[in-house]
Structure 1
Amino acid sequence: MKSFKRVFSHHAIAALALGCTTLASAAELRIGFVNTDRIFKEAATAKAAQSKLEQEFSRREREVEGLGAQLKSASEKLEKDAPTLSDSQRAARQRQLVELDRDFQRKRREFQEDLAQRKNEELQLVLERANRVIKQVAETEKYDLIMQEAVYVNPKLDITDKVLSGLNNAK
């Protein structure tokens, strides 16, 4: 159903744009395009958010990587020592290895989920700021329509640099 709504809304926008172009003879229609990917990569607020996330999650990332290295080392040690171990010793070490692997997988999954959630929160803040700047540019420069997604855009319609400038100069 979501994809139907998305497709329908894209068709509705295309029809609106097509209809507006026929009205363009009566009044000049101004259309702009903003590349959201560039906003997320190049805006100072996006870079600050990325830096904030790196600081916030670097300790946990190192812990997960350390646990992974510990798991690899324990696995290699078991493989090396297996011929000299009794059946009960080998079984005990295998259980320890399984528990260590389970702990590693859980911590890695939790880390990835927490990081993804925080990244989405930070990107949402960047997007909200960008949308305010886009609206300001649209009102100031009298745009009728500004799009953020398109299959093809003539470069002369791209106002991403203006939005980036507004974002980077905003306080």
Structure 2
Amino acid sequence: MKTMIKAGMLAVLLGGGSAQAADFKVGVVDTERVLRESVPAINAEKKIEKEFSGRDQEIKKLVKQAKELQAMLEKEGVALSDAEHRNKERELTAMNVDLQRMQREFREDLNLRKNEELAIVLEHANKAIQAIADAEKYDLILQEAVYRNPKIDITDKVIKQLATDKVEGKADSKDSK
């Protein structure tokens, strides 16, 4: 009995709203794709790579030195005196500790910068989405969906808007024309 009442109420609600639903415009944006493929996202990635390349090279150089010292200890360790062997092992241990610290700090700094840049890209993307929503009279735009019909996917429009605009200030000037 309760199921029938619920089904009846649902039918009334859905049936009554069908006239309004006809002019309700929905869009969906794949945020991950925007963050991967848009011009600002690609530029941010290049900027970060350039910013961190020096530290990355420094870490790679230290890794190479540690491997060379390890190889030298394995090959020539028996020829070294006990004191020299211990000194080289201490040097290798200190080098590995420094390397681990540098790698950890590098990862932390890199993640922090990526998050900062992604926040900026997301801000631009949200402005582009707002501009598209205003220009094309969308009632609702969702970010992410389990399933989306390609007809309502506006991700390509957002990526194109981000490529052609700086978004800030231009969305208002387009609407006023």
Tell me, yes or no, whether TM beats 0.5: yes
The residue type paired with residue 161 of structure 1 is D
Aligned counterpart in structure 2 of residue 114 of structure 1, from 109, 122, 129: 109
Report how far residue 26 of structure 1 moved.
Answer: 2.5
Q: Secondary structure at the match of 2:20?
A: coil
Runs of 4+ in 1 over 3 A off after TM superposition: 19-22
Determine the C-alpha separation between the residues in 1 that align with 2:136 and 2:114: 32
Quickly say closer, same or farther: Cα 1:22–1:97, change in 2 above 3 A: farther
- The corresponding residue for 1:103 is 98
Indicate if the aligned counterparts of 1:21 and 1:29 stay in contact, CA closer than 8 A. no
The answer for unaligned runs of 5 or more in structure 2 is 1-12, 167-177
Q: Secondary structure at the match of 1:83?
A: coil
TM-score by length of 1: 0.83
- The corresponding residue for 1:23 is 17
Report how far residue 22 of structure 1 moved.
Answer: 7.0
The residue type paired with residue 20 of structure 2 is A
Does residue 81 (structure 1) correspond to residue 72 (structure 2)? The answer is no
Quickly say closer, same or farther: Cα 1:165–1:21, change in 2 above 3 A: farther
Overall identity of the aligned pairs, in %: 46
- The corresponding residue for 1:130 is 125
The answer for unaligned runs of 5 or more in structure 1 is 1-18
Determine the C-alpha separation between the residues in 2 that align with 1:97 and 1:22: 76
Determine the C-alpha separation between the residues in 2 that align with 1:35 and 1:92: 56
- Mean alpha-carbon deviation: is it higher for 86-95 or for 101-110? 86-95
Aligned counterpart in structure 2 of residue 161 of structure 1, from 153, 156, 164: 156
Q: Greater CA radius of gyration, 1 or 2?
A: 2
The residue type paired with residue 157 of structure 1 is I
TM-score by length of 2: 0.80
Indicate if the aligned counterparts of 1:32 and 1:145 stay in contact, CA closer than 8 A. yes
Report how far residue 24 of structure 1 moved.
Answer: 4.0
The residue type paired with residue 29 of structure 2 is V
Q: Secondary structure at the match of 2:27?
A: strand
Quickly say closer, same or farther: Cα 1:20–1:54, change in 2 above 3 A: farther
Determine the C-alpha separation between the residues in 2 that align with 1:20 and 1:99: 70
- The corresponding residue for 1:60 is 55
